[in-house]
């Protein structure tokens, strides 16, 4: 067996723990078991660390079962373990198909982890807006910003778990909304918004055009209300340090 074949066989041992791969590696069960245990314990630990509040919400047993399912289905590929939790969301959708609260809690924790190490960017200062031509202004949002649709009270559940107070029961929202996750300086933030603000931000994420945002809001709300709403969103996003740059088309 050459080096490449040996490493492929070792990979098969770690992923499947098959007798055939163990035999090819010399059948040293004690040694092989150490590597098998290290591999699985490392990945379980990675998921536990990435989803602490989801783990509490699901309970130890259910979280571990979902983790094992994920590890069996999706061996890691990236050089960094930070990438491994990203795929857990899809596994949870399969394992808990009727629990959007679980999916949305997983999205929250995954987005918070990503935002924590996203690229640095200084928030836009009010001085940068002086004399700006709003018709051609292109807004640049924080590289840490993540947006997602929200159908349940997952934000309230996550916040209660994070504060270590009794969490409310999971319920569907009367109206779908949205979730924003981003980082202010070195602290990750989570905010629930209504569906309109979520779509407005997604418009800006797509092309950055402030004029385009105004046009979209005017179509929805009418001339006066649309422009006022655009101004209010802009002020709120600036205050929250969501906007980090502006340029012109």
Partner 1 sequence: MPISNPHFSGYGLGLRKEHYGDFLETSVAVDFVEVISENFMVAGGQPRHILRQVRERYPVALHGVSMSIGTAEGLDMDYLLRLKSLVDEVEPLFVSDHLSWSRSGGFNAHDLLPVPYTDEALARVCANIHQAQDVLGRTLLFENPSSYLAFEGASMTEWEFIGAMAKRTGCELLLDVNNVFVSASNHGFDALAFLEGLPAERVRQVHLAGHSQGRGLLIDSHDSPVCSGVWALYAHAITRLGPVATMIERDDEIPPLAELLHELALARTLGAKR
Q: Which of residues 54-93 bind partner 1 (CB under 8 A)?
A: 75-82
Is 25 an interacting residue with respect to partner 1 (CB under 8 A)?
yes
- The per-residue DSSP string of 23-42 comes to HHTT--HHHHHHHHHHHHHH
Q: Which stretch binds partner 1 (CB under 8 A): 50-58, 88-96, 111-119, 230-238?
A: 111-119
CB atoms within 10 A of CB 30: 6
Q: How far is CA 55 from CA 22, 103, 188, in A?
A: 33, 12, 20
Instruction: Give the whole-angstrom CA distance, residue 74 versus residue 244.
Output: 36
Is 42 an interacting residue with respect to partner 1 (CB under 8 A)?
yes
Nearer of residues 9 and 152 to partner 1, judged by Cβ: 9
- The least distance separating partner 1 from the CB of residue 122, rounded to whole angstroms, comes to 11
- The region that residue 164 occupies, defined by phi over 0 for left and psi between -120 and 50 for alpha, beta otherwise, is left
Nearer of residues 14 and 68 to partner 1, judged by Cβ: 14
Query: What one-character DSSP code corresponds to residue 79?
Result: S
Q: What is the largest CA-CA distance in the chain?
A: 77
Q: Which stretch binds partner 1 (CB under 8 A): 9-17, 101-109, 163-171, 193-201?
A: 9-17
Q: Within its chain, how far is the Cα of 83 from the centroid? A: 11
SS3 (DSSP) at 107: helix
Is 19 an interacting residue with respect to partner 1 (CB under 8 A)?
no
- The least distance separating partner 1 from the CB of residue 101, rounded to whole angstroms, comes to 28
Q: Which of residues 122-161 bind partner 1 (CB under 8 A)?
A: 143-144
- The least distance separating partner 1 from the CB of residue 123, rounded to whole angstroms, comes to 14
Nearer of residues 14 and 64 to partner 1, judged by Cβ: 14
- The region that residue 49 occupies, defined by phi over 0 for left and psi between -120 and 50 for alpha, beta otherwise, is alpha
What residue ranges bind partner 1 (CB under 8 A)? 2-4, 6-8, 10-11, 14-15, 25-26, 28, 30-35, 38-39, 42-43, 46, 75-82, 115-120, 143-144, 183, 186
């Amino acid at each position: 067996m050459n080096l490449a074949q040996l490493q492929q066989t070792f990979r098969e041992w770690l992923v499947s723990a098959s007798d055939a791969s163990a035999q090819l590696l010399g059948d040293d069960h004690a040694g092989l078991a150490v590597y098998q245990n290290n591999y699985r314990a490392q990945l379980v630990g990675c998921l536990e660390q990435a989803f602490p509040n989801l783990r509490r919400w699901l309970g130890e047993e259910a979280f571990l079962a979902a983790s094992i399912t994920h590890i069996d289905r999706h061996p890691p590929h990236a050089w960094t373990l930070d990438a491994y939790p990203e795929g857990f969301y899809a596994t949870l959708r399969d394992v808990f198909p009727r629990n959007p609260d679980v999916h949305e809690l997983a999205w929250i924790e995954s987005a918070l982890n990503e935002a924590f190490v996203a690229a640095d960017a200084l928030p836009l200062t009010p001085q940068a807006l002086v004399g700006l031509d709003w018709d051609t202004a292109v807004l640049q949002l924080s590289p840490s910003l993540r947006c997602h649709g929200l159908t349940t009270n997952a934000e309230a559940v996550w916040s209660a778990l994070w504060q270590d107070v009794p969490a409310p029961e999971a319920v569907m929202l009367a109206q779908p909304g949205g979730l924003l996750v981003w980082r202010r300086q070195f602290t990750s933030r989570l905010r629930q918004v209504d569906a309109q603000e979520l779509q407005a931000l997604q418009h800006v994420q797509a092309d950055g055009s402030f004029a385009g945002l105004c046009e979209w809001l005017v179509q929805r709300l009418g001339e006066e209300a649309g422009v006022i709403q655009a101004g209010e969103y802009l002020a709120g996003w600036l205050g929250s340090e969501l906007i980090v740059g502006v340029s012109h088309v």
